[in-house]
Structure formats: structure tokens, C-alpha cells
Amino acid sequence: MTTHRKPATVAHQALALHKQYRGKVALKPLVRATRATLGLLYTPGVGAVASFVAAHPEHAKTYTSAGRFVAVVSDGSAVLGLGNIGPVGALPVMEGKALLFKELANVDAVPIVLDVHTADEIVAVVQAIAPSFAGINLEDIAAPLCFEVEERLKRLLTIPVMHDDQHGTAIVALAGLMNACKVVGKSIARVRIAVIGAGAAGTAIAKLFLRAGVSDVVVVDRKGIVSATRTDLHAEKRDLALSTNREGRSGDVREAVAGADAVIGVSGPGTIHPEHIRVMAQRPIVFALANPVPEILPKDAEAAGAAVVATGRSDFPNQINNALVFPGVFRGALDRGVSRITDDMQVRVARKLAALVVRPTARSIIPSIFDRRVVSAVASAIR
């Protein structure tokens, strides 16, 4: 009797692969420790190097790995679509980021998860370990905590700090929007955008779109449109209310998307419905970026009239993936000694990414993360 085994699921395959290698990143020495080199790499020779960098800390990045390593830091409070699964749960994701740093941009990154969860604690720990690193990539820290942590670290440190969930996602979304507008024959300066989700990604997307010249952005959170008339907003949302929703709209998602040229979903499955797309402007653009299940499936968005659809998934066309950004951003920052990633740099990166797609189509508005031109194009914008 022949038995047929069911094919292994993605979950089973992923668990087996991680178990096989006990994770997916490791540190390797640059120089072999031999009888001839040991006295120079460690005692007694290393004493001369230690004394020199102690007296001349400005040269530490030249004589140590502090000029090479990026810390990938999370407290595990907002991991992928899994939510607050804690620091241990976040570790495989941070290792994945470190892998992409190395594979895509030859940046050495160290995954670091923190079992602390207040702004004061996270800032204190990162500030304390910062002398070992050339950059800090914050990851999977929940809003609104992530806003305070990033801003404080930017003020305290002289190395680049970037919360990838905010700015990486915003940059790729902006690049995708630039090309989507070309496909539908609209000017980015004249479109109205509805952003569904006012967390880390949604807030950063709204701000960067405005910075890039989008004239009107409306943001929706769980309680409705973010507007200056609401009294339940934390500080970051109050600031957002002052710069968005210029028509003073109120209400829910339907009111936000009515007449909009594009909707950007960074919330969760089911928050964009076919009827929402039907009340948008002609040839609407739909970015449904929730992972692993988007706000609306591409086939349903297209059936409702969407002209261009993007998701965060690799198995659909037009993947809006922040892996297109963070390796090249830090590659450029390390190569050019940049100490801060500015808004203008982010807009430049988006333009560089968009330009890599010479003839955008409805199913091709953004390059692949495996396009070898991506890292150098992104890095060239960091100056």
C-alpha cells in the first residue's frame, strides 16, 4: 500500500531551515589568528590600538568594527502582523533583517532584542551600546512609542538612526505612488490620498507624501478620520491632524476615500472594501500593504475598478517592501559618513527607486529587491 505524504507547509519548511542552521546570521573574523598575527590582533599589540582609540575616539571607526556594524534593535512590541510577541519572538525577524543587510548591501548588522518597553529604557540601552555601532536600525517597536524613541535617539547620537517600519515603508510607498501616477496619467502634486492606518507606517507615509508635494492627504485610524476637531489624539496624531485633511473631513473610511485618487492601506485585513474603491476618483490606485493578509486582495480591488494595485507580498505584482530601502540607506550612510537620515534624503531615495522602472505599467511600478541596481541607487541618494 502506497502512502502519500502531504507537502510541507511554509511554516514547517521555515522552522526546519532555522533549526538546521540555528538561526541565519553569524560573525566571521576578517583576519586569521595565527602564531604570526595573534600578538598583533590580541595581546600585546592590541594594547597599542586600545590606547590610541582611547586618546583619539574620532578614529575608532577606522581602527575597529564600530565603523562597520549596524544594530537592528527591537523590543518585540509590533512584530510583522503578529503584534506584541515580545523580544524573543522578534529575534528571528531581526536576524532576517541582518541577513538582508549583508546579502543585499554587504552591511554587517547585529540583531539586538531588548526586554524593556518604555521610551526611557529603550533610549538608555541603545545610547549605552551605540559606541559599538555605525548606525541604529529600529524595528518593530509599536506606535506611538516608536516616535519618541526615534526622535530622542536622533538628538542624542551622532550616528544615523532610522525606524524602518516608518521610513522604509514610506519611501517605497512614495516611489510606488510616483510610478502609479504615471500609469494612470495623474500628477502627484494634484492627487488626493487616503491613508488607512495611523500607526508608525501610516504616519510616516502621510508626512513623506506631503514632503514630496502631494497636495492633500487624509488619514484614518480606528476611530475615524484624523482631524483637528478630535479630542482623543496623542501628540503625534495631533501634529498629523494639523498638516493633513485640508478639507476638514470627518467620518469613517468611506468618507476618507470618496473622490480620492489613491488609498494606502497600512492597517489590517478587510479594512478596504470593494465599495470603497467604487466611490474613489477615476482610475484609482490601491496599495493594500498589510501583511500577511492585505486590506483587500488584488483580484477584488481590480474587480471593483482599481487601475493599479500593490501589496506587501512577494506573490502578487508590485510588492511594496521596505527591504528595497534600508540596506542601501545604511550603505550610503556608512560610505559617506552621514550622521542623520533627513526627509530630503528620503524623497531623493524614492525618486531614485521610481526611476529604476523606466516604463511603469499597472503590474510593474517598483523594482524587485533582487534588482542589483537598487542598493547603489538608494545609497547614492544618501549624501
Catalytic residues, which ones?
42, 97
Q: Are 288 and 272 in contact (CB under 8 A)?
A: yes
Question: Which uninterrupted H or E stretch holds 8?
Answer: none
**Quick one: angle between helices 200-211 and 164-184, nearest 10?**
50
**Minimal CA–CA distance to 163: which of 136, 131, 182?**
136
Q: Are 251 and 279 in contact (CB under 8 A)?
A: no
Q: In a 3-state reduction of DSSP, which class is residue 224? A: strand
Sign of CA dihedral 236, 238, 243, 248: positive
Sequence-distant (≥ 6) Cβ neighbours of residue 367 within 8 angstroms: 324, 353, 356, 357, 373, 374
Instruction: Give Cα 193 to chain centroid, integer Å.
Output: 20
